[in-house]
A and B are shown apart, each in its own frame.
Chain A
Amino acid sequence: MTEKMASASPSYRLTSLSRTRQIVFSSPLVTISTLVLIIIILSALLAPWVVPHDPVRLTPSVRLKPPSDLYWLGTDAFGRDLFSRIITGGRISLVVGVAAAIFAVALGLLLGLMAGYIRWVDAVLMRMVDGLMAIPSILLAIAIVSLWGASLWTVLFAITIPEVPRVVRLVRSIVLSAREEPYVEAAIAAGSPTTLIMRRHLLPNTIAPLIIQGTYICASAILTEAILSFLGAGINPETPSWGNIMAEGRIYFQINPGIVLWPGLVVSVAILSINLLGDAVRDALDPRMAKRGIER
């Protein structure tokens, strides 16, 4: 079975190397975004080995210094190296972004499949989803964090939950249209159990849209984490993250604006890159684009 899937025709496979290459090199902007993302991810992963200074060591003698040969982006109010802190802060931000995307997609997929295929689940679940969507996501996240206290897990939970309803709705709408397809009815007529129908005939339809949705969630989670940290409802301020670097720096904005601007720039660039990559994946998977590709 698995061998056969591997030899399968390329048009329905998303992970093949040539396909990835095609997406990455679809436009110069996408290529640059991919490069930027690789640099950000690598430097975050290797942060303990690549940072020039200890990101949490206080050196009061060099407080609020402008950029220099020693401190490339200057120092903050406690004399900590800003460059090292931004690189290290990427770890939290990226972990939160990727993890929130994975959790939200997984949970949303499960609930969406059930809502789309089982009538009574739909009626109950979708009303709860509507309720959840009515609450602004930042407010909901702040409420959750203040309820359970700030830790990596509660922040992650607080960021994931507001993203789930969108995924549920997406999956549900795909399932609702896919379940009307004759091949699903043929499977019912063949006596296939519900779990098999979901796994085999419905779930594959949701993969492509979910990959795209996942990239958007990842970008928005990084931003939400930064906002939460900036508002003081985020992860413990001793652990650097892009958000709390900016939060700490904002009172010194007039003395050393770099403390706010540099992490802000990194957040913007990271989110822009992820969104551009998401758009590129969407264009590559869009059936209309794919059709044009075949005609060529």
Chain B
Amino acid sequence: MSLLEISGLRIALNGDEDKQVVKGLNLKIEPGQTMCLVGESGSGKSLSALSVMGLLPNVLSPIAGSILLKGENLLDASAHRMRSLRATSMSMIFQEPMTALNPVARVGQQIEEVLEFHSDISQSARRSRVKEMMEAVHLPDVDKMYNSFPHQLSGGQRQRIMIAMALIMSPQLLIADEPTTALDVTTQAQILSLIRELREEQGAAVLFITHDMGVVSEIADDVTVLKLGEVMETQSVDNLLRYPQTDYTRALLQSVPSQVPRPERNKTSEGIVLATNDLCKTYDSAGFLKKARQVKAAQGVSISLMKGRTLGIVGESGSGKSTVARCIMRLIDPTSGSIMVGGRDIATLSQKELKPHRKKIQIVFQDPMRSLNPRIEVGQSIIEGPLNFGVPRNTAMARARELLELVGLPASAVDRFPHQFSGGQRQRIAIARALAMDPDVLVADEAVSALDVSVQAQVLDLLAELQERLGLGILFITHDLGVAAQICDDVLVMQNGQVVEYGPAAKVLGAPQQDYTKALIAAAPGRHWDFANFRPFAEAAN
């Protein structure tokens, strides 16, 4: 008998047959096995997992099918029964450990609480069991950490606490809902190996939900691919990556950015459109009766970007890559250094003096849901900049229509509101808005990170095409080495506000000199797989 067997599961909105979000899911997990549930946003992968735990939001309910855990149908189980099954037979870890943990309780006590509810052992036994578990998830200095609050820990440590909490009753099934998506790539690698290790030690089965094919290739035994609530295919991981059965899976795999740097393009001699010299940003937090503290968010950043080329700034969270972008945009004021845009240093200009230079450099943000004002029509958002520079309204609006067509949207979109578009479409609108100013430089601050991988590929193609046509210099900020490898001519690696390595992409990503860059590349999930060609890189070399 399988440990978990889901058959014909259908989940619908308000029990309405016509509004199904999961349409007939079949899934089997054997003990000690890892099943990956893969899909893009809206595929119903998280809802499927929540339905196993009995944690679906009220408006959603299973209308057909069964979820058998060791032969017991969870859909028929009472609330009381579900409560006693959670933690003891099945448990779950979530994407964002900061919000999954209680911010005002000590982490050790949060783990202990699980034991308090589900076992009868004494308090001292509980405490020593919690510390054992914290050691098992490789947390340092357990005695001290037991009394820490979540905000005092790093993201990776918080996720380890979540895992300790989930596994302390040795459940047979662990559900992990995008457990590494919010983490940096090096931390992600550690958490993945921790999950593998604990699965082997405890013999638990893992239902692992992710959107990232790289992670799939690292952790899965079997994979189920979901699209809009429907199962596309279920295969062992090796078969899936080599011989995908459906067009959807094939397209999904081909959208995964390859880790191999792009070939270098011919250098045009048309000159530098953006350069910084020794750019620094320091935050001072001096306060009344408070010790002055300095945070060096970015130090000594010197870059130069030529017309028609792409410079990538890569780094983990807190590396200062966004600080650099925001300094260059003058959304924050740099502490020292120069920013040359079109032959003029804009680092120290006042907001008024800066205005004529604003149009030469434009930005596209990460979150497509928040980068457009929800209350005004798309067209009004696009023409706001040109109007500020005295372009007549009619001319600007005609240009907005042209630009929307240029980025692959209908011209009639000018009269619609942002909420009427999908995330990828909104990102196209944001690009159109940036282009409306006819900039020389486009700063893309994690501009594709919030998008599904297939949409991400489309937006990257669009950027490449626009660069080709308009000769844009693109400053591309990303945490994703695959994306950087795919589109950047040059790459700058940052860590803790310092520049680690800077040079042509082929050199920095292909033959890194610095240990940090090497570690970063080694931690990238799925770096051994050439997803687009359905084979590991090792085979390609032979």
Binding site for B on A (CB under 8 A): 4, 8-9, 11-12, 181-183, 185-193, 196, 200-201, 204, 292, 295-296
Contacts and interface: CB of A to CB of B under 8 A. Distances in A.
Contact of A190 (B371, B420, B437): B437
Contacts of A187: 373, 384
A182 B384 contact: no
A185 B331 contact: yes
Contact of B388 (A4, A185, A191): A191
A185 B365 contact: yes
A247 to B, nearest CB: 47
A191 B349 CA distance: 14
Interface residues of B, number: 34
B372 interface: yes
A158 B419 CA distance: 44
Contacts of A183: 370-373, 381
**Chain B binding surface SS class:** loop
B367 A8 contact: no
Contact of A186 (B355, B374, B433): B433
Given A11-B419, A200-B376, A204-B375, A190 B385 contact: yes
Closest 6 CB pairs of A and B: A190-B385, A182-B365, A182-B371, A191-B358, A191-B388, A183-B373
Nearest to B445: A182
Given A182-B365, A189-B362, A200-B376, A295 B417 contact: no
B389 interface: yes
Contact of A191 (B355, B365, B371): B355
Given A182-B370, A292-B59, A190 B388 contact: yes
B285 to A, nearest CB: 15
26 contacts: A4-B377, A8-B417, A9-B419, A11-B419, A12-B375, A12-B417, A181-B370, A183-B371, A183-B372, A185-B363, A186-B365, A186-B430, A187-B384, A188-B331, A189-B331, A189-B358, A189-B362, A189-B363, A190-B362, A190-B433, A191-B358, A200-B373, A200-B384, A292-B59, A295-B59, A296-B14
B329 interface: yes
Contacts of A11: 419
B415 interface: yes
B309 interface: no
Contacts of A8: 377, 417
Nearest to B371: A182
B192 interface: no
Interface in B472-491: none
B417 A4 contact: no
Contacts of B376: 200
B13 interface: yes
Contacts of A4: 377, 415
B131 interface: no
Contacts of B375: 12, 204
A219 B363 CA distance: 46
B331 A191 contact: no
B359 interface: yes
A201 B373 contact: yes
A182 B444 CA distance: 13
Nearest to A1: B380
